[in-house]
Chains A and B, each alone.
Chain A
Amino acid sequence: MKSHEEILEILKTKFGEAIIGMMEDTKNDPTIIVDSTKILEVMQFLYDDENLSFDSLMNLSGVDDANGEKVKDEAENEIIKGGTLSVYYHLYSMRIKHKITIRTSVPRENPELESVENIWKTADWHEREAYDMYGIIFKNHPNLIRILMPYDWEAGYPLRKDYKNPEYYKGMKVPY
């Protein structure tokens, strides 16, 4: 069983610059921040390594950090430009019984990162949900389509902070 400091040390010696840091506040589980371009290698290592052996992805979720600049578009709607969207991975090792949270951030204008579906099959639907709700694109995902919203939903990604609900969907009025 490894503490989060030990896990951070192991990752830092293996990946160096790709491990950006650790978020430690009392409210959340300790979270290691990873460069999004290296996420697949880091996750594969966390799964494979003898001393870490994270065999279970408990949860994967998207987050809109809303840390960009708030501007008005042509239609006077407030939208967010720049900033990041994040993906959180909650990992647990059934064998060693330790856990860690991994965070990675992608730019809002181009939210792309590698899928971890090859490592944990759990990620399949979780990544589809993050795609559905936040528009985060997981490269090499086998079936990246909407999972909750209708397949032909064109109004955008509902859990983004600057999302605007449409007036109509297929002739049905949406607002109350």
Chain B
Amino acid sequence: MIRYIIKRLLYLIPVILCVSFLVFALMDLTPGSIVDSMIPSDATPEMKQAILEQYDMDKPMLYRYAKYMYHFVQGDLGKSDISGESILNMYLTRLPNTLLLAVTSLFIAALLAIPMGIRAARHAGTLTDTLTTVVTLIGMSMPAFWLGLILLFIFSFQLRWFPAGGNMGFVSYILPSVCNGLNMMAGTTRQTRSAMLEVLNADFLRTARAKGVPERRVIWKHALGNAMIPILTTLGGNLSTAMAGSVVIESVFAWPGVGRLTAEAIMSRDTKLACGAVIMTTILYVVMMLLIDLAYAFVDPRIKARYVRAKKVRRRAVS
């Protein structure tokens, strides 16, 4: 298992290198960079040359990328072109907001989606099932920002229950989490329903019932345990996307998270900040995806057994 984790972690290195190169190259190509705007229109060729040299603009892009990555691995992402603050600091102060929001949304989504999906699957073809399908289809089709605005209008402006934006403690988490959670809920419910439908007619459930296992345990342990992999995949995908910053939801609720930081950096042409934020977020995203892959082994003993067996076989081969 540990060997596998190390192998997967090593595999992340080329992925991160390629992604960072791609993002760096794209950002480097952006016309109208901060260096261009620093050159006055009446600059002499020497002045122009001096400014270009100061920012290594006279050297090839590959050189600038190598230099950037050399500093990057040392934790130095440079300073923002606009505010002059350290980019790593800016990112890290915003990150907890995004992470907490992602976790609370996931919690809401799982809490709603799994029981709903199970109910729909157990009563497949009935009115409950149809209603669930309709609700999830609408949930999947609703733009997150629109749902956010509707929630804001009802709960913040009309009922005045929650603040309209920013992070002011616990109450501020509720609306964005509910909005994000409802958005995630739709896909997860559908996935839970179809995964449960696949296992509900399985022989082992009949055996469990014949043994006298209570129905509640049959469904929640025996059936759900076997349907967990696809549900986990959907939830995990949602979590990684939310951790990468739900740009739109953070923008609606004026949430001080990394998604909004990235969007603002891109819009204000703060190339360095945008580049650093996108690369950091991507690293976070791939690491999350890896963790979800590893979580499969904990949920499903069959997958875990595969790792363990591989190890045993290898040991036997060595001895």
Verify that A and B bind, or say they do not: no
Which A residues form the contact surface with B (CB < 8 A)? Answer: none
Which B residues form the contact surface with A (CB < 8 A)? Answer: none
